[in-house]
Amino acid sequence: MRITFLIILIALQWGCQTTPLTERQQWLKAHASPLQHLAPHQHTHDLKAVLEIIGDNRIVAMGEQTHGTREFFQFRNRVFQYLAEHHGFNYFLLEAHLDEGLLTDRILQTRVPGPKELLRRDYFNWRAMEMRQNLVWIAKYNQGKPPGKRIHYWGIDMQECYQAINILLKYLQDKEDLGARAEKLYAPYRPYGNLMQMMTYYEQSPEFKEQCRLGVMAVIQLFEDNREMLIAKSSPEAYRTMRQLTEIVRQNEHLYGTSDVLLRDFYMAKNLKWIVDNAPDDARFFLTAHNLHLIKQQIRVRMPHIGVDEPIRYMGAQVYDDHRGTICNFGFATFSGRCNALAGDRIGVHELQPNAAAHEADLAASGGGASVIDLRQLPAALDELKLFRSIGLLIPEKIYPEYPLQLKLHECWDALVVIPETTETTY
């Protein structure tokens, strides 16, 4: 692949000798701040532009153009570890299950685990060694530090809730008869609380789904009615966390019952706000999610392949509204290489495909190596509406192509991390 990439670069450079760069390409080239290292490294001078963009923001969000690109993970790890060591960032937030995250954080607070102990029940992409190595780094960082100086890990997602129900029932075991009552109330919905059962639940009758919804809501009321007793038998912190888990179950049932995919973004934003609101005043947060989830304002999404042409608010738009003036976000892009994604029920390698009509073509024509571009300075007149690569869990196909939507870069992210050639994550 390196030979292919060199040929592409040579061709681009040769083409530049005969075809002048457009004004937009010239701007991108002039404003690209080089990155010398992607993986964590002792030298940090090349992070100057990144740190200037971050400034004093309390929340730093970094995306990924695919869920299975090694270099995206590496660079996020590098920035997060630097911010944790030098700028007090002590919450690592991930587009992963909140309930599973509680179990992961308990490990990171108490001992250094083996990498494969972590995230075993989460999405396949987060089980990549590049992510697990960062969590092991967190565990090592926490060793010997008092509780107030440790880094905490949280998931913000609610696409599964079976672990939440298990944790809640365990918490209620010795709380009079509440455990038995909650188990009975959750019984109808409990078999459906994992992603594989989403469509099965959606296809159930309205009457059955209403029964499940009422049971889920009744458990929330059970917590509200017995709040003082539950706090007395545990602690205010434990009650607060368990009460949030009842919300995760409610959110999950709502999502599965309606199959409205944007509900997920809405609820992830709510869960992130809950974490921030309940953290110490001096806490600082590093958020990792897919590029699309981090888009910072409502945009008009055009996906002609599935007939979509409408305004959409992803999670990032709500997060920016909730934390205006204290957050910045980074999108990621590449234009050559491979990534991991699911092919059926197995992880497969996808060769990235070029597209002359996409933003990536301008980034490639601008030349250079890995860099960060401050999009806040990009003149609106130069930011064209173009296709942009976006690969989620699944290998692209006709129903969801590799370049599924058109967007303007500056409307989506404050900065763009560009890594010309990338490889797939490791397991």
CATH classification of the domain holding 241: 1.20.1440.30
Question: What is the pLDDT at residue 153?
Answer: 98
Residue 84 lies in a domain: yes
Question: What is the pLDDT at residue 12?
Answer: 45
Residue 259 lies in a domain: yes
Instruction: Pick the last residue of a domain from 196, 230, 264.
Output: 264
Same domain, 250 and 296: no
Question: What is the pLDDT at residue 8?
Answer: 47
Residue 375 lies in a domain: yes
Same domain, 290 and 417: yes
What CATH number is associated with residue 383? 3.40.1660.10
Asked if residues 74 and 129 have their Cβ atoms less than 8 Å apart, the reply is no
What is the b/e burial string over 167-178, where b = at least 16 CB atoms within 10 angstroms of the residue's CB?
A: bbbebbeebeeb
Alpha carbon distance 14, 22 (integer Å): 15
Q: Mean pLDDT, consecutive 10-residue segments, the chain of 427 residues?
A: 46 54 95 96 96 98 98 98 98 97 96 90 90 97 96 97 97 96 98 93 97 98 98 97 98 92 94 98 98 94 73 95 97 96 91 95 90 96 95 86 94 97 96
Angle value at C-alpha 64, between 344 and 366, nearest 5 degrees: 120
Same domain, 288 and 418: yes
* Of 337, 296, 353, nearest in space to 419 by CA: 337
Residue 393 lies in a domain: yes
Same domain, 245 and 326: no
Same domain, 254 and 352: no
Question: What is the pLDDT at residue 124?
Answer: 85
Alpha carbon distance 103, 110 (integer Å): 11
Instruction: Pick the last residue of a domain from 209, 235, 264.
Output: 264
**How many domains are contained in the chain?**
2
Same domain, 408 and 352: yes
**What residues does 299 pair with on adjacent strands?**
312
Residue 40 lies in a domain: yes
Same domain, 297 and 389: yes
Residue 179 lies in a domain: yes
Residue 170 lies in a domain: yes
Same domain, 241 and 291: no
Range of the domain at 190: 162-264
Same domain, 319 and 376: yes
Alpha carbon distance 83, 76 (integer Å): 11
Same domain, 172 and 65: no
Same domain, 253 and 306: no
Question: What is the pLDDT at residue 306?
Answer: 66
Question: What is the pLDDT at residue 305?
Answer: 66
Residue 147 lies in a domain: no
How many Cβ atoms from other residues are within 10 Å of residue 91's Cβ? 20
Instruction: Pick the last residue of a domain from 229, 264, 299.
Output: 264
Cα separations in angstroms, 205 against 190, 200, 209, 212: 16, 11, 6, 11
What is the full DSSP assignment across 313-362? --HHHHHHHHTTTSEEEEEEE-SEEEEEEEETTEEEEEE----TTBHHHH
Q: Which two tokens stand for residue 210?
A: 């209403």
